[in-house]
Chains A and B, each alone.
Chain A
Amino acid sequence: MKFDDAFLKSLESLLLLARRLQAGPLPGERTTPRAGASLEFREHRSYTPGDDLRYVDWNVFARHGQLHVKQFAAERDLQVLVAADVSASMGFWGKREQALSVAAALGYVALARGDTLSWAAFAERRLAGAEGLRGKSRAVDLLRGLEAAPAGAGPTRVAAAGDGRARGLVVVISDFCDRATREALRGLRPRGGGLVAIHVVAEEEIRPPVAGAVRLVDAETGEEADADIDEAALDRYRAATQARWDALAAFCARESVPFQRVVASTPLREVVAALLRPGGALSRR
Chain B
Amino acid sequence: MIFDRPHLLWLLAALAPLAAAFLVRRRRPRVAVPDLDAWLAALPRAPRRGWRAFRDAASLLLNLAAAAAIALAAAGPRSAAPPHDDWALVFDTSASMSAADSRWKRALEKADAFARALPPGDRFRILEAGAVPRAIGGWREGGEGLPALPFPAEPSADLAGALELAGAARTVVFTDHDVPEASYLPRVAAPADNLAIEDLSFSRAWASPQIEVEARVVNYSAAARSPEVTFSCVARAAVPAGLILPGGFARVRVTLDAPAGGILEARLAPGDALSVDDAAFAVVSPLRAARAVVLAPRAESPFLRSALAALAPALETGSGVADILAESDALAAGADVFFYDRCTPSRAVPAVLIAAGSGPSVESPAVTAWAA
- Judge if A34 is at the interface, Cβ distance under 8 Å: no
In the complex, how many angstroms separate the beta carbon of B327 from the nearest chain A beta carbon? 111
Known: A89-B34, A224-B49, A227-B46. A215 touches B28 (CB 8 A): yes
Contacts of B41 in A (CB 8 A): 237, 240
Decide if B357 is an interface residue (CB 8 Å cutoff): no
Contact partner, B36, options A223, A229, A241, Cβ 8 Å: A223
State whether the Cβ of A58 lies closer than 8 Å to any Cβ in chain B: no
Shortest Cβ distance from residue A37 to the other chain B in the assembled complex, whole angstroms: 54
Contact A217 B42 (CB under 8 A): no
Q: Tell me which of A49-57, A123-131, A206-214 binds B.
A: A206-214
Closest chain B CB from A232 CB (angstroms) = 9
Q: Does B31 make an interface contact (CB < 8 A)?
A: yes
Contact B31 A177 (CB under 8 A): no
Q: Does B52 touch A at the CB level, under 8 Å?
A: yes
A240-B34 in contact (CB<8A) = no
Interface pair A218/B35, CB less than 8 Å apart: yes
Tell yes or no: A244 within 8 A of B by CB.
yes
Interface SS, A side: mixed
Which of under 10, 10 to 19, 20 to 34, or 35 or more describes the interface residues of A? 35 or more
- A265 CB → nearest B CB, Å: 15
Query: When the two chains form their complex, are residues A236 and B42 in contact, meaning their CB atoms are under 8 A apart?
Result: yes
Q: B42–A233 contact, CB under 8 A?
A: yes
Q: A205 at the A/B interface (Cβ < 8 Å)? A: yes
Specify which of B29, B34, B40 is in contact with A225 (CB 8 Å cutoff): B40
In this assembly, does A9 line the interface, its C-beta being within 8 Å of a C-beta of chain B?
no
B34 close to A216 (CB less than 8 A): no
Residues of B within 8 A of A218 (CB): 32-33, 35-37
Interface string of B23-64 (1 = CB under 8 A from A): 000001111111111111111101101001000000000000
- Are A89 and B31 touching (Cβ within 8 A)? no
Residues 80-95 of A at the B interface (beta carbon under 8 Å): 88-92, 95
Neighbouring B residues of A221 by C-beta, 8 Å: 36
A 266-281 binary contact with B (CB < 8 Å = 1; else 0): 0000000000000000
Q: Complex formed: what's the CA distance from A265 to B42 in Å?
A: 25
Contact: A227 with B39, CB < 8 Å?
Answer: yes
A240, chain B: closest CB distance, angstroms: 4
The answer on a CB contact under 8 Å between A92 and B34 is yes
Q: Interface digits, B155-184 against A, CB 8 Å rule (1 contact, 0 not)?
A: 000000000000000000000000000000
B138 CB → nearest A CB, Å: 63
- Mark B residues whose CB is within 8 Å of A: 28-44, 46-47, 49, 52
- Enumerate 12 A-B pairs (CB-CB under 8 Å) in ascending A order: A91-B34, A177-B34, A208-B33, A216-B31, A217-B32, A217-B36, A226-B28, A227-B39, A233-B42, A233-B43, A236-B43, A237-B38
Question: A221-B36, A226-B28, A240-B41 are known contacts; what are 11 more A-B pairs with Cβ within 8 Å?
Answer: A88-B34, A92-B34, A213-B28, A214-B29, A215-B29, A217-B30, A217-B31, A218-B33, A218-B37, A229-B43, A233-B43
